[in-house]
Amino acid sequence: MIVIVFKYLIPKGFRGITLFPFIFLFSENEKQDLVVLNHEKIHIRQQFELLIFPFFLWYLLEFLYKWILFKDKKKAYLNISFEREAYINEKDLHYLKQRSFWSFLNYF
C-alpha cells in the first residue's frame, strides 16, 4: 500500500480513493486519520481478492444497477457492497485482521 496526497484525483465530497496498490488522499491531514486509512485499506483487500480489474468492473456494474434501482447517485454509491463493508467496518481498526476472504459478499 502506497499513500499519496493528490487532491486533484479525488472527486468532490470524498476524502480518498483507492487504486491498488495506491491510496490517494485529498489532504495531508487524511494521512493521520486512521478511520479514513482503514476504510481505504479495506478497499485494498477487496481489490486484491478480486484480482484488481474484476473489482472495478463489479464496482461499476453494481453502482449502475443501484443507481437505476434508487434513482440517486449518492444512495447508489453508499449501497455498493464494497462501500457498505468499508463504511460499516472503518472504525474497527482490527477488522482486517479478522476479516474472512470475500467478506464483501455479506453486504450485497
pLDDT digits (tens, 9 = 90+) for 3-16: 999 999 999 999 99
**How many Cα atoms within 13 Å fall on the side-chain side of residue 39?**
19
pLDDT at 108 over 90: no
**Assessment of whether the complete model's pTM goes beyond 0.85:** yes
Domain with 10, as residue range(s), is 2-107
pLDDT digits (tens, 9 = 90+) for 15-34: 999 999 999 999 999 999 99
- Band of the pLDDT at 103, cuts 50, 70, 90? very high
Query: CA 95 to CA 21: how far, in whole Å?
Result: 19
pLDDT digits (tens, 9 = 90+) for 61-90: 999 999 999 999 999 999 999 999 999 999
Total structural domains in the chain?
1
Helix, strand, coil shares, percent, the chain, to 5: 60, 10, 30
